[in-house]
Amino acid sequence: MKDIIVFVGPAGSGKSTLTASFGNWLEKETVFTVNYVNLDPGCEYTPYTPNFDVRCMVSTREIMKREKLGPNGAYLRSMDEIYRKRHEIVSSVNKLSGNFILVDTPGQMEIFIFKETGPALIELFKEIGRVVAVVVFDPTLASDASGYIVLNLLGIVVQLRLKVESLFVINKSDLLERKDSIELDALEELIKREPLGLMSDLALSCVDLVRKLSRASRIVFVSALRQFGLDQLYDLLHEVWCTCGDLT
């Protein structure tokens, strides 16, 4: 049984760097072997050496030239091509021999999450291994109470779309003064201290929504560049795959 970790996140969140950093940490600190999968057809560089690279099947650059499209249109067409070749892609991934398969997804998270390509690939990955999504966020969203709420809501959306257990990670946390999760009750109090108005009422409603929809979980603060917090990410992954499934 393969353990497949799919890294998703907005552009600039350091998702690819975290994929490489976590893979290096696994190989250094554990006895497990690691394989890397690149699913971004438009990237120019990866900080790891892919064991499978979707660019050997689908290239955004080639689509731009062939169909005379701009970058955005070519990315969308690339997702259509990946969807069409999804069985061939997953078959290639299934041939990899690593204990952990780290999957790096397109920087434009929305085209992977909201088009049919991402969910379809995840469903096929479930047939060959245990799948967890690591949702990587930029630290900007953790700088205030409303941003923290947005982070939680985005994470819930990813879970709903991919239909897989998801862990939330704030990367580049060396840029933050605070490097620990804010409990929802404390978050509610922070929002109540802000000036009253429509936005604060909306934020408080979102806190209630997150409380109802989120299972017990904690957000991991890491730095792919500085290589801290990776042990906490590994521990949380282990808890996801344990029989109790307790993420607290």
Name the maximum alpha-carbon separation found in the chain. Answer: 57
Domain ranges of the chain: 2-237
Q: CB burial class (10 A; 0-12, 13-18, 19+) of residue 11?
A: exposed
pTM to 2 decimal places: 0.88
Q: Which residues pair with 7 in a beta bridge?
A: 104, 134
Q: What is the pLDDT of residues 61-97, one digit of tens each?
A: 999 999 999 999 999 999 999 999 999 999 999 999 9
Run means of pLDDT, 10 residues per run, the chain, 248 residues: 92 94 96 96 95 97 94 94 98 96 93 95 96 90 71 84 91 71 61 62 73 67 91 90 56
Strand (E) or helix (H) holding 2: strand 2-8
Nearest to 218 by CA among 177, 188, 183, 178: 183
CATH number of 2-237: 3.40.50.300
Q: What is the pLDDT of residues 220-234, one digit of tens each?
A: 889 998 999 999 999
